[in-house]
Amino acid sequence: MKTKKYELVAEKSIEYCGLKLFRIRALISFGVVRAGEEGGFVESEKNVDQSGDAWVSGNAWVYGNAQVSGNAWVSGNAQVYDDARVYGDARVYGDARVSDNAMIPDETQILWMSNVGGELGTLTAFRNSLGGITVTRGCFIGTLDEFRTAVTTKYGGTLLETGYLRLANYIEWHLTELHPLNNIEDFFNRQSEESQSESV
């Protein structure tokens, strides 16, 4: 039986949209985390691997079928949910929102911008499990092309359209030219290796 590295703290749970999220507390020291240190919030133990140095800290939330493993960290006010996977040496922090079928193997495959648009919200873009780019902003979640279409439909002819489309162009450049997936097969192999190590 594996030694548990953290526990769910029932007396420090919160309710969110019908879900109960539990603060976690380290049972042993690992990486830079010390025994007794409290972390962020998770829905269940399946959200953060009990092995490795994976951790959720601060006021970050991980819930649904989302998983954090390897040496990955989720911190600040970040949220990881749905079927998202954050693994390897990836770091997700600030006000980032990672959801859907995201696969974040390292810090080069995600970016977010805060104080975006008229509502000054957070826009997050990341590599999804198909190797494409997913964008989230407010209630919107979709591909980069769907984001551009939604922006033009909602804000056509305004400064908000111009700003959002410039951000979309930056996202595309960042994830396809600055930090490209040089070999899509390597991306999927990393996913497969991570999944196999989690099931052992």
Question: What Å distances lie between residue 113 and 85, 156, 180, CA to CA?
Answer: 20, 21, 19
Q: What is the DSSP letter of 109?
A: G
Q: How many CA atoms lie within 13 A of 190 on its CB side?
A: 20
Q: What is the DSSP letter of 68?
A: E
Measure the CA angle with vertex 25, ends 19 and 29; round to 5°: 145
Query: Cβ contacts of residue 9 below 8 Å, gap of 6+?
Result: 22, 23, 24, 25, 38
Q: What is the pLDDT of residues 145-166, one digit of tens each?
A: 999 999 999 999 999 999 999 9
Query: Cβ contacts of residue 96 below 8 Å, gap of 6+?
Result: 76, 78, 79, 110, 112, 122, 124
Query: For the chain, what is the radius of gyration of the CA atoms?
Result: 17
In this prediction, residue 69 carries a pLDDT of 94
Question: What Å distances lie between residue 65 and 23, 53, 106, 161, CA to CA?
Answer: 17, 19, 19, 34
In this prediction, residue 199 carries a pLDDT of 46
In the chain, which stretches have pLDDT less than 50?
A: 191, 194-195, 197-200
In this prediction, residue 198 carries a pLDDT of 45
